[in-house]
Amino acid sequence: MRYCNQIASLFRFFYIDQQMKRASALFGSDHMNRIFPIVVLCLGLSLAGCSTPEPEYVEIVEEPIKVLYDRALRSMAEGNYGKASEQFQELEIQHPYSEWAMRAALMSGYVLYLKLDYAGAILAFDRYVELNPDGADRPYAEYMASVSYFEQIVDIGRDQFLTEQAAERFLRLIEQFPNSEYARDARVKYDLTQDQLAGKHMDVGRFYQKRNIHTGAINRFRRVVQDYGTTSHVPEALFRLAESQLFLGLREDAQMAAAVLGHNYPNSSWYSKAYDLLVHNQLIPKAQSKGWLNEIYGIFGSS
C-alpha cells in the first residue's frame, strides 16, 4: 500500500515550485504559465492517491492480578523466562499502582537474571528503585543489580568497565544499607572487584615494564598501592616499583619501596626478591622519612 504524509506532500510541492521557477528563468514565464495548470492537476491527482491508513486499536482486556501473577509464575517454573518476564510486565501495565505491580517489577528483573539477560535485569531492578526509592525491597533490588554486573566480569586482559560498575553498585548498597541481609555478601563481592581492578593495573604495569616504559609502569604500580591497598597485589606492586625505580636511577625510592614491603610483608616471596635485587645493586632496604609511601603507611616517622 502506498503511503505519504503531509510533510512529504509539502516537500514535494516545494520541490516542484522551485523547479518551476528555474524552468521559468530558462524558458520564459509565458511558456510556463501555459503548462502550470497541468502540473497542478497532476500534483493534485498524486496527492489524492495517497491516504493515511486508519489506526488499529488493540483492546486490552484487564485480568485479575492473581491470574496474571500465577500465570507468570508458571512460566518461570517451566523455565520460560522470557515469557514470564513479559507476563510480569503485563501485570505492571494492567495494575500499575498496586502492591503486586511492585512485586512483579522485581520478579521481572529476577527472571531476566535467570535468563542471563543481565542488561534487561539491571533495567528492571533500576526501574523498581526509581519508582520505589523507599520501598522495603530496595536493598534486594540494589543487590541483584550489582550481582548482574558482577557476573559479567571478564578476565583482566579485557576492559574492566563492568567490574567498575559492579564495585560502584556494591559500595552504594554497603553504604546505604549496611545492616541489610545482603550487605555481608556485597562486601565480599566488593573486595573481589577491588582485587580484579588492581590485577588489571598490575597487568598493564608489567606490560609497560617489558617494553621499558618504566614511568608508565610506576604510575600503575603506585595506583595499586594507593587505591587498592587491601588487595593481594600490593606485595608484588611494591617489588615492581623497586624494579622500575632502580632502572630509572631512583635508588632511594627503590630502597623505600623495599623497606615498606619488608615491614608489612616480611615473609612474602616478593620481599625476598626485592632484597636480593637491592643487594645485587649494592643497596639495602632503607626507610625514608618523607614521600608518598610514608604518607600512606605512616610507619617511619619524620625527620
Q: Which helix (H) or strand (E) holds 222?
A: helix 214-227
Tell me which H or E stretch contains 68.
helix 65-77
**Alpha-carbon Rg for the chain in angstroms:** 34
Residues whose CB falls within 8 Å of the CB of residue 299, separated by 6 or more in sequence, listed in order = 260, 263, 287
pLDDT tens per residue across span 115-164? 999 999 999 999 999 988 999 999 999 999 999 999 999 999 999 999 99
Predicted pLDDT of residue 261: 96
Question: Rounded to an integer, what distance in angstroms lies between the CA atom of residue 136 and that of residue 99?
Answer: 11
Q: What is the mean pLDDT of residues 21-36?
A: 49
Per-residue pLDDT of 219-264, as tens digits, reads 999 999 999 999 999 999 999 999 999 999 999 999 999 999 999 9
What's domain 71-195's architecture? Alpha Horseshoe (1.25)
- Name the burial class of residue 143, with classes exposed (0-12), middle (13-18) and buried (19+) by CB atoms within 10 angstroms of its CB: buried
Average pLDDT, the chain: 84
| Stretch(es) of the chain classified as CATH 1.25.40.10 | 71-195
CA distance 116 to 49: 50
Contacts with 233 (C-beta within 8 Å, 6 or more apart), sequence order: 195, 198, 199, 201, 202, 224
**Cβ-contact 72, 104 below 8 angstroms:** yes
